[in-house]
Amino acid sequence: QLYRDARECLTLLSQRLGSQKFFFGDSPASLDAFVFSRLAPLLKAKLPNGKLQQHLKSLQNLCNYCTSILSLYFPWDGGEMPPPASPRRLRAEEDPHKRRNQLLSVLVGLAAMLGYAFLSGIVSIQRSGVGPAGRQPIALAEEEEEE
């Protein structure tokens, strides 16, 4: 039953497409993206049971539809892989300010966390009466007694 429904769906799609390039004329619509996302794997993948794939391959306009979208939007998918990028080209294509942006992101995050800690009371700064070198100030009366 499932295969029969799928075959019927493919046949109806083929009839609706007819000889047009896309379902709604000369430019693709969201329906084209949806239909292509279902047809392309069915057409290109190796399947254990190829009944549905064979039926799709018999519908020449749907095969041409998938092939034209692949060649138009995925030109490297025609069996050829794009040429591998050299390390020099990869570095040139990277964001030239990547490190600066990473550092700024870390600093902004740190500032936000510290601000939250201070405002929520998790961390507070208290002034103590500690003098230089960690000594407590001695009152004048105590100084006289120590001598």
Q: What is the pLDDT of residues 56-67, one digit of tens each?
A: 999 999 999 999
Can you tell me the mean pLDDT for 41-48?
87
- Do 40 and 28 touch, CB atoms closer than 8 A? no
pLDDT of residue 98: 84
Q: Cα torsion for 91, 94, 100, 101, to the nearest 10°?
A: -160
Q: What is the residue-wise DSSP string for 123-144?
A: S--------GGGPPP--HHHHH
Q: Which two tokens stand for residue 39?
A: 């047809």
Span of 3-7, 62-66, 118-122 with lowest mean pLDDT: 118-122
**Mean pLDDT computed over 69-85:** 68
